[in-house]
Amino acid sequence: MSMYDHIRCEVPLPDGFEGEPLFQTQDFERVLATHAIREDGLYLVGGHYETVPKAERPHPDAEEGTLEERKGSLRWVPNLVLHPEAHGNFYFYGEDASGKLHGYEAKFMDGELIGIKVQLDPPKPDVPDTELG
């Protein structure tokens, strides 16, 4: 089994496919990162945790060091980072409910989405199933 990154496509696909919102690609770092294709470019989807002030927690008066005091102490802050250097083509693919594979080629120039087209011959996995054991 090979590693891949996820693609969330937020623009209409040329064949009208509206299946699973996360596609896969092996054309990036292959670190299980999520990228978003939007009308204005390609983004890396990320975020970080931040500490919630005590006054905003569910139990602000809980005793220090207890589980009650820690509940709600962190929150996820999502962010999108534009890939301004995105230039060239990359492929992404996913399956519909019946198992049919949908493949696409996205083209970017200087960080801007030029277009997406259907890829008739989706990429093959790096390792054939017979080698997986």
Q: What is the pLDDT of residues 8-52, one digit of tens each?
A: 999 999 998 876 678 888 888 777 788 889 998 888 888 889 999
* Statement: residue 100 has pLDDT above 70: yes
Write phi, then psi, for 67 (nearest 5 degrees). -60, -40
Express as a percent the part of the chain with pLDDT over 90.
36
According to the model, what pLDDT value does residue 3 have? 80
> Given pLDDT bands bounded at 50, 70 and 90, which one contains residue 87?
confident
* pTM for the predicted model, two decimal places: 0.67
CA 130, CA 133: separation in Å to the nearest integer?
Answer: 6
According to the model, what pLDDT value does residue 123 have? 57
* Statement: residue 128 has pLDDT above 60: no
**DSSP E strands: which ranges in the chain?**
5-9, 22-25, 34-38, 41-51, 74-82, 88-95, 101-109, 112-118
If 0-12 CB within 10 Å is exposed, 13-18 middle and 19+ buried, where does residue 110 land? exposed
Paired sense of beta strands 74-82 and 112-118, if any: unpaired
